[in-house]
């Protein structure tokens, strides 16, 4: 399988592509690009629609970047993950206080994790959506405060829903339905199928 461009800053997505044996180079936003603006939510938008729209916008921006920089043509892969409590989207917390508030919402409840993946090969685009359900045990105030303050790579900051399933937060997840790698941020079954096609 020839090398691809990965338009994502997520070290977990790099790790998961390595797990698939897919050679890749990063194709990241330039300093003048407002990548965060692409993640703005819209009133009334369903979380699954939101994550697919954001992924496609990121893919379009990456393909434009590829053309602008005059880089060799290769397939471009983008992905985005969102955590949803019903219709409420839980994004990335801005600070430990917001992380704690999200963890309070998730405590003792089931939520959904949606990850969209899109691959551009020239003008052709293929996409897939992976949706999973995650149950979180009741969290004590001490556990929430401790995890919200965690500054490790698998802590809450920079993570949709304020947690990383592959880190120590897994100790509070008694059950999942769906794709573990999708919850991590790149569903390997769907990604492999898109790249094979």
Out of 18, 34, 60, 80, pick the active-site residue.
80
Q: What gap in Å lies between CA 160 and CA 84, rounded to an integer?
A: 9
DSSP 8-state assignment for residue 36: G
34 classed as catalytic: no
Q: What gap in Å lies between CA 78 and CA 186, rounded to an integer?
A: 9
At CB < 8 A and 24+ separation, what contacts does 192-195 make?
A: 192/20, 193/128, 194/77, 194/117, 194/118, 194/119, 194/126, 194/127, 194/128, 195/1, 195/4, 195/20, 195/22, 195/75, 195/77, 195/119
Residue 29: exposure state from Cβ atoms within 10 A (0-12, 13-18, ≥19) = middle
Q: Which residues are catalytic?
A: 80
């Amino acid at each position: 399988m020839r090398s691809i461009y990965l338009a994502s800053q997520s070290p977990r997505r790099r790790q998961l592509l390595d797990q698939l044996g897919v050679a890749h180079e990063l194709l990241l936003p330039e300093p003048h690009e407002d990548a965060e603006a692409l993640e703005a939510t819209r009133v009334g938008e369903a979380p699954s629609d939101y994550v697919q729209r954001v992924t496609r916008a990121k893919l379009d921006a990456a393909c434009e970047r590829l053309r602008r920089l005059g880089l060799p043509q290769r397939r471009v892969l983008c992905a985005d993950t969102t955590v949803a409590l019903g219709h409420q989207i839980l994004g990335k917390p801005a600070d430990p206080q917001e992380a704690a508030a999200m963890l309070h919402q998730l405590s003792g409840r089931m939520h959904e994790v949606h990850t969209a993946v899109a691959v551009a090969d020239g003008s052709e685009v293929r996409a897939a959506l992976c949706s999973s359900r995650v149950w979180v045990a009741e969290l004590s105030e001490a556990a929430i405060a401790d995890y919200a303050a965690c500054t490790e790579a698998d802590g809450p900051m920079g993570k949709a829903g304020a947690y990383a399933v592959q880190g120590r937060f897994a100790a509070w997840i008694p059950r999942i339905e769906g794709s573990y790698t999708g919850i991590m941020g790149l569903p390997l079954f769907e990604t492999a199928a898109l790249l094979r096609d």
